[in-house]
Chain A
Amino acid sequence: MELLYFGQKGWGDELFLSFLMTIAVSMSAFSVGIFLSALFTPLKFSKLKLLKFISNFYTTVIRGVPELLVIYLFFFGGSGAVMFVASIFGYNEYIEINAFVTGSLAIGIISGAYSTEVFRGAIQSIDKGQFEACKVLGIKKNIYFLKVILPQMLRLAIPNLSNVWQLTLKDTALISVTGLVEIMRQSYIAAGSTRDPLFFYSFAALLYLILTFFSMKVINKVEKKYSRSF
């Protein structure tokens, strides 16, 4: 237990900070994912074939390629891409992107592909009669989307979105390869310097279990609140 003391003696405070880092990265990645799915879900229903293709291409490629490969693409390609854009504006110095930003973007893009599919499924399971009813009533397109489709879509999407959240949470462990000090990275450092990997990785597993357990509790509450019928 001495290994978990706070301060100079143990790894308690470091591990606690990395625990908070995992929460922060998961939340920002999940938000990036929701933002991306707000862009790509409408494209799935577009009448333009090109837009539909772009959206399908995004979700198929990202869901078919390992997360680690996407992270490597961002990690090694990210600063190159930013430097390329900067060089157009005449800035030629080396730019290093923050590991937190790279990680959130990489995991966010993965999370976005899954949540786009969740929202698509939710919209498709809304009864078609409602679209027709709105047409008959002459309700404007953007109003019926906001007042009729959106509330129902969110309600239907919550259970599957909770799966996406769990997936995102667990995917953040992979960002440790880029050096961001979250639970996995901190355990790696602690295991290396104390030569006690069994303890630290088991403790990391426990921290992840705590995270999944409590997020499940919160999600269940939200689900109950919104599953009331209107």
Chain B
Amino acid sequence: MITSVPKLLYATLITLKLLSFSIIFGLFIGLIFSLMRISKNTLLNKISYYYSYIFRGTPMLVQLFIIYFGLAQLDWLRESFLWVILKEPFWCAIIAFSLNTGAYTSEILRSAFQTISKGYIEAGESLGLSKFKIFVTIQIPVAIKQSLPAYGNEIILMLKGTSLASTVTLMDLTGVSKFIISTTYKPVEVFIVAGSIYLFLTFLIHSFIKYNEKKYEAK
């Protein structure tokens, strides 16, 4: 059992890589879709609404399988330059995870943008700030502060979500755990070690978010 600990630790690196890529892309996607959602353009609004509805209403496993197994079926896609990315399970997983977390992030940011009190924006307008300036210097910082607790939960959910990568042949922490379990038949021991690593990561994320909440509180 002890000999498999280094393997698990190495697999943790892959889990962290998957997590950080998806969180960064997801935040970007979420920001764009949340802006579309609060915009007055009905078309943009509808697109964003259905995007978030579909991705939040279906299991992430289905989304991953559509991207990894399904897209490979399209001949025009296989011939295009996108195939370089889409043939790699790693990037397929990241695309699926980013789109999924992007949908949840867009909802978190939308509710944050919508609950900003109008007084802040009016104050900015009366100071003669441009719309863009109001958005960057007032709306975004306030929205970040408001959405931090919910966003922290989303990162933790995403950490657990990366385990799905093991279903498309990626050897992340869960994938390696499953491999060790099926070769040694020691499910409990492996569960304790892998579970502790996940719990430790959850604890780190939780503390990091708490620290940032305090920092924003102080301002």
Interface positions of A (Cβ within 8 A of B): 60-61, 64-69, 72-73, 76-77, 80, 170-171, 173-174, 176-177, 184, 187-188, 191, 195-198, 201-202, 204-205, 208-209, 212-213
Min Cβ gap A100→B in Å is 18
The verdict on A201 contacting B69 (CB below 8 Å), with A76-B181, A208-B62, A209-B57 known, is yes
When the two chains form their complex, are residues A205 and B62 in contact, meaning their CB atoms are under 8 A apart? yes
Sample 16 A-B pairs with CB under 8 A, ordered by A number: A64-B199, A66-B161, A69-B174, A69-B177, A72-B187, A77-B187, A77-B191, A80-B185, A80-B187, A170-B60, A184-B61, A201-B65, A201-B66, A201-B70, A204-B62, A205-B54
When the two chains form their complex, are residues B62 and A173 in contact, meaning their CB atoms are under 8 A apart? yes
Q: Which residues of chain B are near A66, meaning CB under 8 Å?
A: 159-163, 174, 198
When the two chains form their complex, are residues A213 and B57 in contact, meaning their CB atoms are under 8 A apart? yes
Q: Which residues of chain A are near B182, meaning CB under 8 Å?
A: 76
When the two chains form their complex, are residues B187 and A205 in contact, meaning their CB atoms are under 8 A apart? no
Q: Which residues of chain A are near B57, meaning CB under 8 Å?
A: 208-209, 212-213
Among B108-166, those with CB < 8 Å from A are 156, 159-164, 166
Binding site secondary structure of chain B: helix
**Interface size, B (range):** 35 or more
Interface positions of B (Cβ within 8 A of A): 54, 57-63, 65-66, 69-74, 156, 159-164, 166-167, 174, 177-178, 181-182, 185, 187-188, 191, 194-195, 198-199, 202-203
Binding site secondary structure of chain A: helix
When the two chains form their complex, are residues B199 and A73 in contact, meaning their CB atoms are under 8 A apart? no
B61's partner among A65, A173, A196 (CB-CB below 8 A) is A173
Min Cβ gap B28→A in Å is 24
9 tightest Cβ-Cβ pairs between the two chains A and B: A66-B163, A198-B70, A173-B59, A77-B187, A197-B69, A76-B187, A64-B202, A212-B57, A170-B59
